Amino acid sequence: MPPVLERRSTRMTVQPPDVPERFVSANIAAEFLSVTPRFLIEEARAGRLPGHPLGRGKRKQWRFRLSELSAVVAARARAN
């Protein structure tokens, strides 16, 4: 399996394949997809994009894995 690219602050770093991929905030994930954080969270809530809500109650913190988002975008591009 090739190394996973991980974004830390404003630069990309290579992460060894045996280290689990980190979750990123909605802001970083939205920048990765070139959309707004609000759009990203709405799509995740609707189940159209993979996202992981953290916390209880109505106001949850959403976290994302860039590899999951990339896989969904690639699959949709192949389908079209």
1 pLDDT exceeds 50?
no
Question: Do 39 and 27 meet the contact criterion of CB atoms below 8 Å apart?
Answer: no
- List domains and CATH numbers for the chain: 4-79 (1.10.10)
| Burial tier of 40 (Cβ tally within 10 Å: 0-12, 13-18, 19+) | buried
Residue that wins the pLDDT comparison between 14 and 78: 78
Q: What is the pLDDT of residues 58-69, one digit of tens each?
A: 889 999 999 999
2 pLDDT exceeds 60?
no
pTM: 0.73
Q: What is the pLDDT of residues 4-59, one digit of tens each?
A: 555 555 555 666 677 788 999 999 999 999 999 999 999 999 999 999 999 998 88
